[in-house]
């Protein structure tokens, strides 16, 4: 991890935490999911930097070492998109100052999004296409809140998304445990291939047997890093974005995304979301991403970039080398 450097950048009134590896104008911006954080990209950052790219992983506003927004309950995906645009603007000025005499307002970056981190990546690619060289997502095909989002009315009663969308419910559930146990439980629960559905007399944390060990690819040291970061930020913003702002319609009409890759674990529980397997396997998603490449990893689960890092790194670097035009 000594190859990864850390700093804060002032963006739209907040200090966002950045982890960086590599140098130069070929920026690859990694966007995390939940309960992940910049650290979830540790394996990919070093590999991508070694391949000649500048790897940058952020903590979204309200996550980890980044500042909290002033009103977390009003945060939404547009905030994350605007933060990313401002961040790329900052990088553009830095690169133009160091490497040329021409001032650049924006640079074109390659986005890599995992879980809900794919949503701002999709929105950025649709709304600000000039800033995006290409797009890789892990665990989620093309989905944006609104008409191309998750169909909440089809989700089973007691499903974790519905439970965590209720103000106060996840806070009470999580509050029964220390932060480390909450992260441990979520990693164990979402490493499985089944949907996370609680009974009427249960909360989501109750679905995990306390004696269940961590997945073999996720160490106690890894857990300590996550726990430390979430002790700093708490879960207040993390529950708002994504879970309590996903039903919003962000006004995107007829979206199209170019140069995309989807990496999907065959054992990712997301495949069992209503309609998702047909959406991906029957090519319905290609109406939004006509040239989409999909790679299904037979043993991959929801945390495939941490579970199978060497395989994922190879897929990402091969795709970058083929498509990067920044």
What's the CATH number where 140 sits? 3.40.50.1820
Asked whether 159 and 169 are in contact (CB, 8 A), the reply is: no
H-only helix segments in 51-159: 77-99, 118-127
Q: How confident is the model at residue 325 (pLDDT cuts 50, 70, 90)?
A: low
Lowest-confidence segment of 95-104, 156-165, 262-271 by average pLDDT: 95-104
More confident residue, 109 or 151: 109
Asked whether 302 and 265 are in contact (CB, 8 A), the reply is: yes
On the 0-12 / 13-18 / 19+ scale of CB atoms within 10 A, 2 is exposed
| Token pair of 326 as six digits | 């920044």
Mean pLDDT value of segment 201-227: 97
Q: Provide the domain limits for residue 241.
A: 5-323
Mean pLDDT value of segment 113-135: 93
Q: How confident is the model at residue 37 (pLDDT cuts 50, 70, 90)?
A: very high
Nearest to 135 by CA among 293, 314, 2: 293
Report the distance separating Cα 136 and Cα 118, nearest Å.
8
Q: How confident is the model at residue 100 (pLDDT cuts 50, 70, 90)?
A: very low
The percentage of the chain sitting over the pLDDT mark of 70, rounded to a whole number, equals 93
Is 50 exceeded by the pLDDT of residue 96?
no
The percentage of the chain sitting over the pLDDT mark of 90, rounded to a whole number, equals 80
Non-local (6+) Cβ contacts of 286 within 8 A are 292
Helix (H, G, I), strand (E, B) or coil at 22: coil
What total of structural domains would you count in the chain?
Answer: 1
What is the set of active-site residues?
115, 243, 302
Helix (H, G, I), strand (E, B) or coil at 148: strand
Q: What is the pLDDT of residue 259?
A: 74
Question: Token pair 């130069």 is at which residue?
Answer: 24
Nearest to 110 by CA among 90, 125, 94: 125
Report the distance separating Cα 7 and Cα 57, nearest Å.
11
| Strands of the sheet with 5-11, listed across from one edge | 5-11, 14-21, 54-58, 27-31, 109-114, 132-138, 260-265, 293-297
Non-local (6+) Cβ contacts of 275 within 8 A are 151, 154
Q: Residue 228 CA to chain centroid, in angstroms? A: 19
On the 0-12 / 13-18 / 19+ scale of CB atoms within 10 A, 322 is exposed
Report the distance separating Cα 230 and Cα 79, nearest Å.
20
In the DSSP assignment, the letter for residue 144 is B
Report the distance separating Cα 13 and Cα 23, nearest Å.
26
């Amino acid at each position: 991890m000594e190859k990864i450097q850390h700093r804060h950048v002032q963006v739209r009134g907040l200090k966002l935490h950045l982890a960086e590896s590599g140098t130069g104008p070929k920026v690859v911006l990694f966007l995390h999911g939940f309960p992940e954080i910049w650290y979830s990209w540790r394996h990919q950052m070093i590999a991508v930097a070694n391949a000649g790219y500048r790897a940058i992983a952020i903590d979204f506003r309200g996550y980890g070492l980044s500042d909290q927004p002033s009103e977390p309950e009003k945060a939404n995906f547009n905030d994350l998109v605007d933060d990313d645009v401002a961040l790329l603007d900052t990088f553009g000025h830095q690169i133009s100052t160091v490497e040329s005499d021409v001032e650049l307002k924006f640079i074109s970056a390659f986005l890599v999004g995992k879980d809900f981190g794919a949503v701002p990546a999709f929105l950025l690619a649709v709304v600000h296409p000039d800033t995006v060289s290409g797009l890789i997502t892990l665990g989620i095909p093309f989905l944006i809140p609104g008409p191309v989002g998750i169909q909440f009315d089809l989700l089973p009663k007691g499903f974790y998304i519905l439970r965590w969308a209720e103000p106060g419910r996840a806070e009470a559930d999580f509050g029964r445990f220390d932060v480390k146990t909450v992260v441990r439980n979520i990693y164990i629960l979402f490493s499985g291939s089944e949907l996370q559905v609680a009974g009427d007399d249960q909360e989501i944390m109750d679905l995990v047997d306390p004696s269940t060990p961590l997945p073999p690819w996720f160490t106690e040291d890894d857990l300590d890093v996550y726990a430390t970061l979430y002790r700093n930020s708490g879960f207040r913003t993390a529950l708002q974005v994504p879970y309590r702002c996903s039903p919003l319609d962000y006004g995107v009409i007829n979206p199209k995304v170019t140069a995309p890759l989807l990496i999907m674990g065959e054992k990712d529980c997301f495949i069992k979301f209503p309609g998702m397997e047909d959406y991906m396997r029957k090519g319905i998603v290609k109406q939004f991403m006509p040239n989409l490449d999909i790679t299904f990893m037979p043993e991959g689960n929801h945390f495939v970039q941490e579970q199978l890092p060497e395989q994922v790194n190879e897929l990402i670097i091969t795709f970058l080398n083929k498509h990067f035009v920044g």
